[in-house]
Amino acid sequence: MKIIDKYNLYKNKYPKHVVLMKIGIFYECYGEDVYILNNLFSYKIKDINGIKRVGFPTNSYDKVISKLKSFKINYVIIDGDDVIRKKFNFNNYDKYVPNDLSLEDRINKIYDRLKVLKDNSKINDVLEKVEGILW
């Protein structure tokens, strides 16, 4: 299973959580989660083969988790088969995903979200609505 597929599985299960995956000596996140880490830490967003990605070294883990906790942003940590989840009663996830994105970023955000939903049973309903608007 590709890393992005594993990410999409967890993102589909926990859509309003920042999903961080440990890959070697880095943690990485993808899709709309990158905007939160960019917003909070100014981490650079990389676009690799059309997939937005942000990464940070494992020695920054405590700093990142501490800030996510202080801002009450739900998160999930994937480290091999270990999964750590933190959920707050009043999740601020949406508050830190920027609304003033460029047109290109808005389109990419929609695309990223559709890719996350591709294994969800509701994807056909969503696509039919989008196609109804576009065609």
Tens of pLDDT along 79-103? 988 888 888 888 888 888 766 667 7
Q: Domain 3-134 is of which CATH architecture?
A: 3-Layer(aba) Sandwich (3.40)
CA distance linking residue 99 with residue 39, whole number of Å: 12
> Tens digit of pLDDT for each residue in 14-40?
989 999 999 999 999 998 899 999 889
| Predicted confidence band of residue 132 (pLDDT cuts 50, 70, 90) | confident
- Answer for the pair 99, 91: CB distance below 8 angstroms, yes or no: no
The two structure tokens encoding residue 99 = 């609304």
The two structure tokens encoding residue 125 = 């309903």
Predicted model pTM = 0.74
